[in-house]
Structures are given as C-alpha cells and as structure tokens.
Amino acid sequence: MNALPLLYQRCLSDGRFYAVLAAAGFSLKAIFVKLAYAAGPVDAVTLLALRMGLALPLFVWLLWLSRGEGDAPLGGADLLRILLLGMFGYYLSSLFDFYGLAYISAGLERLILFCYPTLVLLFQAIASRERPSRRTLLAMGVCYLGLGIAFVSDLGIEGGGAQVVQGAAWVFASAVTYALYYCGTGVMVKRLGSMRLAGLAGGASSLLVLAHYGATGNAAQLTSLPGSIWLYAALMAMFSTALPIYWMALAIQRLGAAHTAAIGNLGPVLTIAASWAVLHEPISFYQLIGLGLVLLGVTRLKPSRQAAAKPAQ
C-alpha cells in the first residue's frame, strides 16, 4: 500500500524526472504553434503576443520563486543587459521561429534550433580570436551533415522547395539570435541565478513583444480569434515557457548542470515523435539519420556547465 507514495516521493526527489519534464515541455512548443496555425487564421506576431502576454504573469511567478537566489542589486547597466537579453531571447528568437514554423515541419525546426551550441562556439571563437579545436570542428561538421540530410529529406516530403528554404532560413535566424542570447548570459547568471534571470529576461521579452503588437497589430482582432487558438497559446505559455524553466531549475538543483543538459538532448527526439503522433507529420529514414548525426555532433561538443542554466526558447 505504501508503494505509490514512495514512488511519488522518489519522482519528486529525482532530478531526472524534472529534467525529462523540462525537455518535454520545451519540445512541445513547436507542436502548439503548428496546431494554432491550423486552428484558424493567425499570424506569427499575434500568436507570439498571445503566448508572451499570457506568460508574463508566469514570469512574475518565477521571480517570486527565485527570491533569495542571487540577491545582487540591479543597476542601470544590468537593466540594459536584461533588456538586450530579452530582445534576443524570447522576442526576436521566438518571432523568427514562429515565422519559420509556418513553412517547415516541427521536426526540422527542432533540429535546426538544436544546432545553436555550434553557433555559440563559433561566436566565442570569434570573440576570443581562437581557432576551434579539431574535435570541435569535426563535431560541428557531423552536426551540420545531419541537418543537411534532414533538410533535403524535408524538401522532398513537403514538395514546396522555396517554402522549406524560407522556413529553414527563419528558424536558423532564430538559432543565431538565441546563440547571441546564450553568449550574453554568462556573467548575469552568476550574479542573478538562472531562475531570476529567466524571469527578468522573460518579462522584458513579454513587454517588447506586446509593444511590437501594439504598434503593428489590431487588438480588436483578438476577440474574434477562435477559442482553440487562445487555448494553444495558453498551453504554450504554461507548459512550454514558464513551467519548463521551473522544472529545469529543480533538475539542476538535484542533478547538476551537466546531467540536466545531457537529458535535454531528448528534445529533438520528443519533438519528432510528437509531430508524428499529433500532427501526423511523416518521418523518413533520412530524417532519422539526420537526427542521429545532429544528436551525435551536439553531444560531442561538450557544452559548458552554463548550458543547462539557459532555458530553450
């Protein structure tokens, strides 16, 4: 009779449980976007505004949870950095990603985004003026070989070559901006803590997105949107934005950053599986080969311990 309570307590104390939840939550973001696009006429800016508007109270909740974590006072320079991180992180990166998902499959989107560690290493090498090691270059080559195979496979499956290229370009731009966000968080994470920084940067992103929508969108249009679009935006805000950040912080506390990051490699696998089960997107043999090569290449990069402190967008 005590088996179920013991299993429940073990799940709560085991960081692997929270790490898998975080990976699953982040991987479902593309699924919710595709479902929202299919539910009715909605553009990327409007859908992103719904996501971030609904997520804003959740970012405030994250800040409340992070009280006592990194009590460093915020100066003017800190606020400027947080604003820049918000612009690159959940604003531009998410906007470009939403644009791309209108043209390509959720599985290919996740593979492209998952290559952001290679861009981080490239930016770091440029900043430090150091040539990447041979092992790093080999791992990057394997990663992009797999991405190329998956991309060519999608070209054949989708049938619209120009649209796939356009969508892939938007998602790659999302990976670039997210890599810039990642590169700028190192010092801030040490001072503020991962959850506090996520709440601050996420809140700044929400305000930027809402300002963008206020300047270019039509607020009256929101009342005419189908309820299903609001539902998918709410699910995205809760289960693919705020909660995964919280779950990741719990996993890091119990497992450490390195092991949490390793479990995060499940993300592309979960996205492709969900896109097949929910969206009925076909999975080809070449896509599976591409997935395996991308996973192999990224895991061989051995990202720093700070990697797990950065929430996926």
Q: Which of 158-167, 217-226, 254-263 has the highest mean pLDDT?
A: 217-226
In a domain, 2, yes or no: no
- Residue (of 117, 135, 86, 142) closest to 308 by Cα position: 117
Compute the distance between CA of residue 241 and CA of residue 205 in angstroms, rounded to an integer: 12
Q: Is 219 exposed, middle or buried (0-12, 13-18, 19+ CB in 10 A)?
A: exposed
Whether the per-residue pLDDT at 141 is higher than 70: the answer is yes
HSE (side-chain half, CA atoms, 13 Å) at 132: 19
In a domain, 10, yes or no: no
Amino acid at position 81, single letter:
R
In a domain, 216, yes or no: yes
In a domain, 212, yes or no: yes
Least confident of 57-66, 244-253, 278-287: 244-253
- Residue (of 150, 88, 85, 133) closest to 302 by Cα position: 133
Of how many residues is the chain composed?
Answer: 313
Which domain does 254 fall in, by range?
16-309
Under the banding of pLDDT at 50, 70 and 90, the label for residue 126 is confident
- pLDDT of 23 reads 86
- Average pLDDT score over the chain: 83
Whether the per-residue pLDDT at 56 is higher than 90: the answer is yes
**Alpha helix ranges (H) inside 159-266:** 161-183, 186-192, 194-216, 227-237, 243-255, 257-264
Q: What is each CA distance from 138 to 61, 135, 203, in whole angstroms?
A: 42, 5, 38
3-state secondary structure of 143: helix
Percent of the chain with pLDDT over 70: 86
- pLDDT of 72 reads 67
In a domain, 92, yes or no: yes
Whether the per-residue pLDDT at 228 is higher than 90: the answer is yes
Under the banding of pLDDT at 50, 70 and 90, the label for residue 154 is confident
Q: What is the mean pLDDT of residues 204-214?
A: 94
Whether the per-residue pLDDT at 189 is higher than 90: the answer is no
Compute the distance between CA of residue 146 and CA of residue 300 in angstroms, rounded to an integer: 14
Whether the per-residue pLDDT at 179 is higher than 70: the answer is yes
In a domain, 132, yes or no: yes
Give the total number of structural domains in the chain. Answer: 1
- Residue (of 74, 116, 70) closest to 96 by Cα position: 116
Compute the distance between CA of residue 208 and CA of residue 309 in angstroms, rounded to an integer: 23
If one compares 224 and 135, the residue with the highest pLDDT of the two is 224
Q: What is the mean pLDDT of residues 50-65?
A: 91
Q: Which of 3-12, 59-68, 165-174 has the highest mean pLDDT?
A: 165-174
What is the pTM assigned to this prediction? 0.84
In a domain, 11, yes or no: no
Rounded to the nearest 10 degrees, what angle do helices 116-128 and 134-158 cross at? 140
Whether the per-residue pLDDT at 215 is higher than 50: the answer is yes
Which run of H or E residues covers position 33?
A: helix 29-39
HSE (side-chain half, CA atoms, 13 Å) at 148: 7
Amino acid at position 252, single letter:
I
Q: What is the mean pLDDT of residues 251-264?
A: 71
Compute the distance between CA of residue 85 and CA of residue 180 in angstroms, rounded to an integer: 8
In a domain, 8, yes or no: no
Those residues whose C-beta lies under 8 Å from the C-beta of residue 153, and which sit 6 or more positions away, are 284, 286, 287, 290
Q: Looking at residue 102, what DSSP letter applies?
A: T
Q: How far is CA 82 from the centre of its chain?
A: 18
